[in-house]
A and B are shown apart, each in its own frame.
Chain A
Amino acid sequence: MTHVIEVLNVHKYYRKQANDFLNSLKLFFFPEYKPVLENITFKVKRGKIFGLLGPNGAGKTTLLKIITGLLRPDKGKVYIFGKSIPENFSKISRKINAVFARANLWWELTGKENLMVYGKLYDVKNLEKKVEKLLDFFDLKDKANKYTDLYSTGEIMRLCLAKALINEPEILILDEPTIGLDPNIALKVREFLKDLNKKERTTILLSTHYMEEADILCDRIALMDNGRIIKIDTPDNFKKLLKKQNVIEVRVKKFSSKLLKKLNSLDFVKNVYFLEEVERLRIIIDDLQNLDKLIRKIKKYTKIENIVTALPTLEDVFIHFTGKSLKGAE
């Protein structure tokens, strides 16, 4: 069996809710459903890192909850190690572990106590040693005996990661694993995950809305938007889809939202957004032949200081497929 995770034609609907009394009453007697996941299908091979990339609200967390047996799909099937989930989750629960961005450890216990309890529940051998090792790796030794509600967001995430590794899982499921972490720690976590996957052949399924993270870590990525998978491919293949010349970065003398609006309305412009950190407009056009038209249009509003072609990123790929930015969609 090469595929350890199989998600086949999964659909999930949530009941619509209303804020006012009359509509609540109406929805109570005549429920309406909105799709959260539609026709999700993918498979993950043992030892691979598979990423779900999409903006908030794309359905990534719901999908991960279905895969971990916390939610039941309304249609479709999920198999882990060939066993149907959630019916058989208890049979495989020792071989799997997860971190959810919005789940917590027991806050009335210390970090070390949390790891000890979960270690016992997972029947971990040499638990004390294992816990010490994990606390050491995640730089939590000094905080080990502090209650977890006194931890910072980054420390909590590191402790959750330590909890997720306590049983040396064959499949690790991570929901936004670096959210809220400072860049250095996030980098360390990414390196650790890469290393873990290489050395232990741990299969990792992660969701993220950080393109760099998906780019660095994943063997394959599923682009998700509005509860659907738009496309699945490797990061390199995704980027090859966009020709280098089609992505242009322009530094203008005076940036205005009016300019952004005007450029966006052009037929040949697939998307345009302002990169604040480098103060440049990043424009994706369908054909380089339209570059002259583009330059003329910009010059109508402001002076161009510099213009370069750029390497496409996953952000550009996402825009190419959805017509909207990952950042903008957050």
Chain B
Amino acid sequence: MKKFLKDYFALQISEIKKFLRWKERLLWDLIGTLTFFIAFVFVWESAFAQGFKGMGNLTKETFVTFILSGTLIWQAIGINLGPISHVFVREKYMRTSVYFFLSPGSRIAFLLAKAGVALLQILITNMILILIALYFFEFEFKGSLFLALLVFILTFLCFHGLGICIAALGAWREGIADFSWTFSSVLLILSGVWYPVEIFPEPLQSISKILPTTKAIEMIRDIGINGLGLMEIFSELAFLGILTCIFLSLGYFVFKAVEGRAMLIGI
């Protein structure tokens, strides 16, 4: 355990330093996310001004919280399906993982350090987004912030497991990393990040409602807009918790399997 923690801290610091080398990424990510957030605020503001009555959690009073909640949760999902996958694939092509695999460093610490830096990145982006929303828009969050943070972190870990699967497979077969972009785009459209899923036709809605991304976004909205507490969202939270355990274990096993395969065919 002591060795694991030592490895983790050494790798975590190095991952943060690596990230800081390209800190402007943080700025571009923030600008991109902020652009979508502001654009949809204007879209819905204009829709309500023209007589739109609202749909589900999206009302004239709550639309800023609605859009921001979706945006914040999507950050936790998107970073794992996109940039994190690319980091692993890049490590393969730059052949930087060879020396790590030779070292006595812990594989799990290696994966956790990558998760840690991604989490840090989106926490910073999200804090800035919340501050902007509080200062410039009518952002109001009714429920418990701790509960919202718990949902956020569970969502992040759940999709980190899935992200590792994609990344590990991407490091094995060229082109799978590009698949993550398409996959996350479809999820983004179907999960109702900036609009209620009720606007979809019925068959699409039934697909959308079973997606874990939609469930996580709905949960945050229920906390922020309707002020629901732990007991009221317990079943959804437990479901997300189980999914997180499944995806994280799956991520680790796929990573080990791909490593095993790499030992047969070469890294």
Contact = CB atoms under 8 A, between A and B. Distances in A.
Interface of A: 14-15, 62, 65, 68-72, 74, 86, 90, 93-94, 96-98, 100, 102-109, 113, 116-118, 120-123, 147, 160, 163
Contacts, number: 84
Nearest 10 CB-CB pairs, A to B?
Answer: A120-B10, A103-B98, A108-B18, A121-B105, A108-B21, A93-B104, A72-B263, A121-B103, A117-B14, A103-B95
A97 to B, nearest CB: 7
Contacts of A147: 21
Nearest to B98: A103
B263 to A, nearest CB: 4
B6 interface: yes
A68 B102 contact: yes
Contact of A122 (B14, B104, B267): B104
Given A71-B266, A100-B99, A108-B21, 7 more contacts: A65-B266, A70-B101, A71-B264, A97-B102, A100-B98, A108-B17, A117-B14
B96 A106 contact: yes
Interface-centre pick from A86, A98, A103 (highest chain B CB count, 10 A): A103
Contacts of A62: 266
Interface string B223-267: 000000000000000000000000000000000000000011111
Contacts of A107: 94, 96
6 contacts: A70-B263, A86-B263, A104-B98, A109-B14, A117-B10, A122-B103
Interface size class of B (residues with CB under 8 A): 20 to 34
B17 A109 contact: yes
Nearest to B107: A90
B265 A121 contact: no
A69 B102 CA distance: 8
A69 B260 CA distance: 11
B173 interface: no
B99 A118 contact: yes
Given A71-B263, A113-B17, A117-B14, A123 B103 contact: no
B103 A118 contact: yes
A205 to B, nearest CB: 14
A15 B98 contact: no
Contacts of A94: 104
A94 B7 CA distance: 14
Contacts of A104: 94-96, 98-99
A14 B99 contact: no
Contacts of A163: 99
Contacts of B22: 108
A19 to B, nearest CB: 14
Nearest to A95: B104
Given A70-B98, A113-B14, A123-B3, A93 B103 contact: yes
A86 B260 CA distance: 11
Nearest to B100: A121
B105 A14 contact: no
B11 interface: yes
Interface in B95-135: 95-96, 98-105
Interface core residue of B13, B95, B101, B103 (most chain A CB under 10 Å): B103
A147 B14 CA distance: 13
B6 A120 contact: yes
Contacts of B267: 70
A93 B98 CA distance: 13
Contacts of B10: 116-117, 120-121
Most chain B beta-carbon neighbours within 10 Å: one of A90, A106, A108, A121: A121
A70 B102 contact: yes
Which of B6, B94, B99, B266 has most chain A Cβ within 10 Å? B99
B102 A98 contact: yes
Interface in B162-214: none
Nearest to A66: B263
B18 to A, nearest CB: 4
A92 to B, nearest CB: 9
B16 to A, nearest CB: 11
A72 B105 CA distance: 20
A74 B3 CA distance: 32
A93 B102 contact: yes
Contacts of B13: 117
A98 B98 CA distance: 10
A266 B22 CA distance: 63
B103 A102 contact: no
B94 A123 contact: no
Nearest to A106: B96
A15 B266 CA distance: 11
Contacts of A100: 95, 98-99
Given A70-B102, A71-B266, A72-B263, A123 B95 contact: no
A59 to B, nearest CB: 12
Contacts of A98: 99, 102
A320 to B, nearest CB: 32
Interface in B1-25: 3, 6-7, 10-11, 13-14, 17-18, 21-22
B165 to A, nearest CB: 22
Contacts of B98: 70, 100, 103-104
A69 B262 CA distance: 11
A90 B265 CA distance: 20
A94 B18 CA distance: 25
